[in-house]
């Protein structure tokens, strides 16, 4: 790539509440490793049905933002998302005809295309002449008209290579980025958790990874929360009792996670009437091709 990616600000409609309801969809699927990588043909209809029902469930739960994993979409699945209204959809990425690994963001009649910037060194680089990912050159930051919500989407490795630019971005209005969404297809879950924990130590931005289901881990929400709140999340099996300080919740295996999160960061000293930042956590798993609620993963 000849130059640094440009940061582009996109203004969107306001979300209604101080809190925001988010849905993460972790899907179990295989891809064809031959370039360009894509969902195996025999799995497309099955994945399409899972995504359709996930979108229907998100609508019934009054979700504000839903996010799918990298490489979990194609053009036909994208058409399903286009029919959904009043739901901000971060679609799973797919390869287009120009060899961009692209993630479409859909909100009512608006559609934005995000092209992955950083190719995976083995699967997407120029190992074989003429077979490589074309690199994107923009980072989109979405900001509501009232300036109360700011978030961005970085596909897979773009989080490691580009997040510092938006974590340190100087907005015209005060405050910083609220969320980074990271649609991924990988198994480097330890690396992500280390990086997200470090970013949350230095910044008040919440880091949200949505991945394919794999044996080693999955999708995560990292952000600042009172230490007693973190302890309860561990006790309720919403997250593992491990050494990561800022992990709030996770999905292990194929499933959906829906939660409310207050955009306002925790205060110091903590007010007597303070509440959890993350609330109303719900887990869902597939049973007989339908998403059913479970207690935890």
- pLDDT tens-digit profile of 35-56? 999 999 999 999 999 999 999 9
Number of domains comprising the chain: 1
Nearest to 79 by CA among 102, 58, 51, 100: 51
Residue 1 lies in a domain: no
Residue 118 lies in a domain: yes
Residue 52 lies in a domain: yes
Do 115 and 156 form a contact (C-beta atoms < 8 A)?
Answer: no
Residue 50 lies in domain: 6-294
Residue 168 lies in a domain: yes
Residue 119 lies in a domain: yes
Span 244-275, pLDDT tens digits: 999 999 998 899 999 999 876 665 555 556 67
pTM score, whole prediction? 0.94
Report the CATH number at residue 134: 3.60.110.10
Distance between CA 88 and CA 190 in Å, rounded? 29
Distance between CA 23 and CA 280 in Å, rounded? 12
Residue 84 lies in a domain: yes
The pairing of beta strand 65-67 with beta strand 219-222:
unpaired
Distance between CA 284 and CA 67 in Å, rounded? 15
């Amino acid at each position: 790539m000849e130059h640094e990616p440009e940061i582009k600000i996109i203004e969107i409609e306001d979300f209604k509440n101080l809190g925001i309801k988010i849905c993460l969809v972790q899907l179990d699927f295989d891809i064809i490793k031959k370039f360009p990588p894509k969902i195996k043909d025999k799995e497309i209809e099955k994945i399409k049905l899972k995504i359709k029902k996930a979108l229907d469930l998100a609508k019934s739960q009054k979700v504000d933002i839903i996010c799918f994993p990298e490489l979990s979409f194609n053009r036909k699945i994208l058409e399903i998302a286009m029919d959904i209204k009043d739901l901000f959809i971060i679609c799973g990425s797919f390869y287009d005809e120009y060899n961009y690994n692209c993630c479409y963001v859909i909100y009512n009649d608006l559609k934005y295309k995000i092209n992955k910037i950083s190719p995976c060194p083995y699967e997407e680089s120029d190992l074989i002449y003429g077979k490589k990912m074309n690199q994107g050159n923009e980072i989109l930051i979405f900001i509501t008209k009232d300036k109360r919500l700011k978030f961005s989407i970085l596909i897979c490795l773009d989080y490691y290579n580009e997040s510092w630019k938006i974590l340190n971005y100087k907005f015209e209005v005060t405050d910083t980025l609220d969320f980074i969404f990271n649609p991924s297809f990988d198994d480097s879950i330890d690396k992500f958790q280390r990086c997200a924990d470090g970013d949350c130590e230095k910044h008040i931005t919440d880091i949200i990874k949505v991945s394919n289901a794999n044996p080693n881990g999955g999708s995560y929400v990292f952000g600042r929360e009172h230490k007693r709140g973190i302890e309860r999340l561990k006790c309720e099996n919403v997250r593992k009792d491990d050494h990561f300080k800022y992990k709030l919740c996770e999905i292990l295996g194929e499933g959906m996670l829906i939660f409310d999160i207050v955009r306002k960061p925790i205060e110091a000293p903590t007010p007597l009437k303070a509440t959890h930042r993350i609330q109303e956590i719900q887990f869902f798993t597939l049973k007989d091709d339908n998403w059913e609620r479970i207690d935890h993963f």
